[in-house]
Amino acid sequence: RDTKTVRLAVIPGDGIGPEVVAATVPTLRAALEADGHRLDVTELDWGGERFLREGAAMPANAADLVKHSDAVLFGAVGRPDVPEHELIWGLIIGLRQQLDLAVNIRPVRAFPGVPTKVRDTDGVDLVIVRENTEGEYVGAGGVAHAGSGHDLGIEVAVHSRRAIERAAHQAFALAGRRSGRLCLVTKSNAMRYGYPLWDRVVREIGAQYPEVELETVLVDAMAARMIQAPRSLDVLLTSNLFGDILSDLAAVLAGGMGMAPSANVPPGADVPGIYEPVHGSAPDIAGKGVANPVACLLSGALLLDDLGHTGAAGRIREAVGDALRDARNHTADLGGNATTADVSAAVLHALEGRR
């Protein structure tokens, strides 16, 4: 067997970040070692504590420090005693931008046995491909008449052909590997410039992927369809803002935020991707050891997939599924009373059984 070493940079971060990351790394290691590979971890102490100590959540050359890794596993940031933007922009959004991670992949899968607030989610298995750099998140705008009592806040949404093309290629390629169906989500009836550009560019790119069938749906209709007919969906392609909102909605179909993984991926393979649970640092439950580690575990599986360790990734997903079939392995967010460590141990045990 070919021995390969996966060089992983790990940023546990704040709150439940370190708890879910600690529950994930041993699983990644076990899955890789079962295939004769090694996991080499570099832990980075970036986040809120570093900000309080040194005035910055991460070093200025952060991107250079992780560039030599194969991938980055990130927990979450955010703590009540640090201004939000110092950690959100000062770390996770900043790092995504420095590495130019153009696309965010957010799979949502309903595991058998996991209770959900939405009825009849059996078999739901979809992926949201979210443009990761532009739209309302580009940071263009300003204020006017500040303090006059007639204040203006201007937030400019920016949509470029380049960004749309990069996201579209990822989405078509993914749809081609899955069902062959891609759903573009825009709002071109009310928006006159940005979303019509999305429609045009995505249709154009689609000509290069004749095996993929493209459907275009307005975002409001998609919100309803996601609840009413989620099994009719496979791969969704959408803008930064719509992707943010729809992915939280979709996560409910799988049992909530504790179940939602994500991957921030570059358009090429030249820099490492960042793999992270969609959820934040959850200060309300941090330090209690009760966070659901599944979102982080599934982010780890995405990471292994992208590095070509698809067998190991698949076994992690199956082990998570095995563990979740038993309600004794459900954390409080799923209505159970398992601890983070219980779930982690159950997944490791199931993984052993799948060697």
Active site residues: 137, 187, 220, 244, 248
Residue located via tokens 């994930």: 24
Site track 13-42 with ligand NAI (rule: CB under 6 A), x = hit: ---x---x----------------------
What is the pattern of x (binds ligand NAI, CB under 6 A) and - over residues 271-290? -----x--xxxxxxx-----
Which residue in 302, 329, 350, 287 sits closest to 108, CA to CA? 302
**Stretch (H or E) spanning 202:** helix 194-206
290 backbone dihedrals φ, ψ, rounded to 5°:
-120, 5
Cβ closest to ligand NAI, residue 121 vs residue 247:
247
| 67-75, 207-215, 237-245, 326-334 -> range binding Mg ion (CB under 5 A) | 237-245
> Distance between CA atoms of 310 and 247, rounded to whole angstroms?
24
C-alpha–C-alpha distance, residues 237 and 257, integer Å: 20
Nearer of residues 104 and 188 to ligand NAI, judged by Cβ: 104
* Sign of the CA dihedral running 233, 209, 302, 100: negative
Under the binding rule (CB under 6 A), the answer on residue 298 touching ligand NAI is no
Which one among 84, 213, 220, 352 touches ligand NAI, defined by CB under 6 A? 84
Position of tokens 């209709």? 221
Per CB under 5 A, does 244 bind Mg ion?
yes
DSSP letters for 128-143: EEEE-S-EEEEEEEEE
Which option in ligand NAI, Mg ion, none does residue 244 bind, with CB closer than 5 to 8 A by kind? Mg ion
Pick the closer one to ligand NAI by CB: 174 or 251.
251
> Which of ligand NAI, Mg ion, none has residue 279 at its interface (CB below 5 to 8 Å by kind)?
ligand NAI
Q: What is the C-alpha separation between 203 and 192, in angstroms, rounded?
A: 17
183: phi then psi, degrees, rounded to nearest 5: -115, 115
In the complex, minimum distance from the CB of residue 76 to ligand NAI, in angstroms, rounded to a whole number: 4
# residues contacting ligand NAI (CB under 6 A):
23
Cα gap 331→339, rounded to integer Å? 6
* Identity of the amino acid at 310: T
Instruction: Give yes or no for residue 92 binding ligand NAI (CB under 6 A).
Output: yes
Residues binding Mg ion (CB under 5 A): 244
Residues binding ligand NAI (CB under 6 A): 16, 20, 76-78, 84, 88, 92, 257-258, 276, 279-285, 291-292, 295, 331, 333
